[in-house]
Amino acid sequence: MLVVDASVGLHNQDLRIATQAWEHGCGLIVVVNKWDLIEEKDANTAHRGQEELITKAPFLRHVPFVYVSSLTGQRARKVLELILEVAEGRERRVPTAEVNRVLGALLERAAPPQKPGEEVKLLYASQIGIAPPTFAIVTNRPDDVPESYQRYLANGFREAWPFTGAPVRLRFTSRGARR
């Protein structure tokens, strides 16, 4: 959990800590404390602030935010529920058949970008690890899958299975390569 003071906001150091936690495969929840002290708020204040942060750090789109007051106990139970949800997402194991079904649907919707004479084929995939969820995707050209397409696949996997607050890792390998 990254606890942030609502009256001060998220500082660069907070963002650095969140980024490091995410890159190290940790589950993450942003707890915005002292929400009761924010006087001039409307129904969209939290959403606007969250979208502003997502612009700075896009991975935060996959991180739950909870607005609490430790003084009044407002939404304290929600924090505990989110901790369990994030822990479950980090430990989620998906059967290989289901991974390949989702991969097939993603490929049908949008094929990987191709360079002339250098066709990239994604052959099959399986989950090779948890905490964080890690998937191996076998391809004929592992180094030629563009980063934008990698994000597309990771987001597609997130749509299929709730990995709330957990990073999703993709590893591209060629046939016969060791994990």
- Give the tens place of pLDDT for each residue, 31-90: 999 988 888 888 888 898 899 888 889 999 999 999 999 998 889 999 999 999 999 999
Among 83, 102, 103, 101, which residue's Cα sits nearest to residue 164? 83
Q: pTM here?
A: 0.89
Name the percent of the chain lying above pLDDT 70: 98
What is the model's pLDDT at position 36?
Answer: 87
What is the model's pLDDT at position 169?
Answer: 97
Domain boundary among 62, 89, 116: 89
One domain, residues 84 and 106: no
What's the CATH code of the domain at 7?
3.40.50.300
Name the percent of the chain lying above pLDDT 90: 73
**Which H or E element spans position 119?**
none
CB 33 within 8 Å of CB 1:
no
What is the model's pLDDT at position 159?
Answer: 96
Domain boundary among 26, 58, 89: 89
Beta strands in the chain (DSSP E): 2-5, 30-33, 65-67, 122-129, 134-139, 169-173
One domain, residues 75 and 101: no
Q: What size, in residues, is the chain?
A: 179
Structural domains in the chain (count):
2
CA distance 87 to 27: 7
Domain contains 179:
no
- pLDDT average, residue stretch 154-179: 90
What is the model's pLDDT at position 178?
Answer: 60
Domain contains 36:
yes
For residue 14, give its domain range.
Answer: 2-89
One domain, residues 121 and 145: yes
What's the CATH code of the domain at 103?
3.30.300.20
Domain contains 106:
yes
